[in-house]
Amino acid sequence: MNRPGSDPVILARDLLRCPSVTPAEGGALAYLETVLKGAGFTVHRMTFSEPGAADVENLYARIGTTAPHLMFAGHTDVVPSGDPKSWSHAPFAGDVADGVLFGRGAVDMKGAIACKVAAALDYLAANGGKPKGSISFLITGDEEGIAVNGTIKLLKWAAERGEKFDHCILGEPGNVDILGDTIKLGRRGSQNGVLVISGKQGHVAYPHRADNPVRGLVKLMTALMDEPLDKGSDHFDPSNLEFTSIDIGNPTVNLIPGEARARFNIRFNDCHNYASLKALVEKRAAAAAGDKVRWRIDWEPSNADVFYTKPSAFTEAVVSTIAEVTGRKPKLSSSGGTSDARFIKDYCPVVEFGLVGQTMHAIDEQVPVADLTQLTAVYRRILDKYFG
């Protein structure tokens, strides 16, 4: 193995060459283990299991024994490349061309992990090999999958051995157009449900003998789509209920179906918790149904609650550092999908700042070398301020 030192481009390139499509480790965690051990970190590798899911490997590394403790979190697993022939550079080659590094995971999020490692190694080299506190890496291989054998278990494992975290930076690619334009301080919650209308099956020519559930379905769907769930809050856009599928599954033309279903997803803000959200939706469905429509909602279990990280000296330091290094004042965002921050927020305040998300999960996922250099500089300066 070559010696990557604290060069984020070499670290990122080497990580991109590991084919770590979820749930495969692909050599990515082994690589990080070698690099971090070489810099004096104590490294743990854990494999977590869950019935019905593939085993997944994870890594936890720490240097230092005292507070304050800054955790760098992330994932080395990636989504599949799609057809490799559609790529201008092979998805797991780690090619650099015209100042751009190509590969699956370049921005989501091996690139950001490389920048964090580079920043940490450079900080340690400049400070006699020891932080004035603790730095840790909490890296999972189960973020892009169903996320049951990753960060959620890794955090529990760490808490059980007495690890205490003061702050976390997660490296998801939340910048929209250019590095430094966005930092994520919160995420909306996500809740799935199925609206089920019961009717009575019968011959389509004798509707008076049947009870068509489609009428009730349309009525309740309309009611649930008509009125917004709220007007938004200080930190979030309005919550949104979106129907994703209508399922009747009737293969014949002369039969009134006995049941009709519609699946939906709600992205909700901090005006709600799980219980109040479900109560609100059911109240609206009940009002629309009156005593004519027989209905129920089957709610799926969710582990994606809404959260917002309160502004603090730490968030202030991250924001000001981004401005100093990139020249841009980042927008404080809580939009988009969910992330592992939803698990981390139960252990310490978490902010999300990584690369630009434009090519994540896309063909020709790529990152400018200049972005890797600049993001490393952001993390490096955060370390100076954090332990200064």
Contacts with Zn ion, residue ranges (CB under 5 A): 108-109, 172
- Number of residue whose CB is nearest Zn ion: 108
Told to judge if 364 belongs to the known catalytic residues of this protein, a careful annotator would answer no
Strand (E) or helix (H) holding 299? strand 294-299
Nearer to Zn ion, 172 or 230 (CB): 172
336 vs 169: CA distance, rounded Å: 18
Nearer to Zn ion, 108 or 230 (CB): 108
Helices then strands, each counted (H, E), the chain? 9, 19
Told to judge if 77 belongs to the known catalytic residues of this protein, a careful annotator would answer yes
CB-CB contact of 5 with 14 (8 Å): no
Q: Is 125 left (phi over 0), alpha (psi -120 to 50) or beta?
A: alpha
CA 94 to chain centre: 24
DSSP letter at 321? Answer: H
Min dist CB 340 to Zn ion, Å, is: 8
Min dist CB 235 to Zn ion, Å, is: 22
Nearer to Zn ion, 122 or 144 (CB): 144
Nearer to Zn ion, 12 or 109 (CB): 109
Nearer to Zn ion, 113 or 260 (CB): 113
Min dist CB 117 to Zn ion, Å, is: 17
Min dist CB 145 to Zn ion, Å, is: 11
Nearer to Zn ion, 107 or 318 (CB): 107
Min dist CB 243 to Zn ion, Å, is: 27
DSSP letter at 17? Answer: T
Nearer to Zn ion, 57 or 108 (CB): 108
CB-CB contact of 330 with 319 (8 Å): yes
Residues 6+ apart with CB under 8 A from 267: 188, 189, 190, 239, 240, 242
Nearest to 152 by CA among 310, 345, 331: 345
Min dist CB 181 to Zn ion, Å, is: 18
DSSP letters spanning 224-289: HHHS-S----SSSPPPEEEEEEEE-----SSEE-SEEEEEEEEEE-TT--HHHHHHHHHHHHHHHH
Catalytic residue, chosen from 77, 172, 211, 305, is 77
* Pairing status of strand 69-75 against strand 167-170: parallel
Helix axes 110-126, 8-16, angle to 10 degrees: 140
CB-CB contact of 361 with 349 (8 Å): no
Min dist CB 100 to Zn ion, Å, is: 20
Q: Is the peptide bond before 109 cis (omega within 30 degrees of 0)?
A: yes
| Residues belonging to the active site | 77, 143
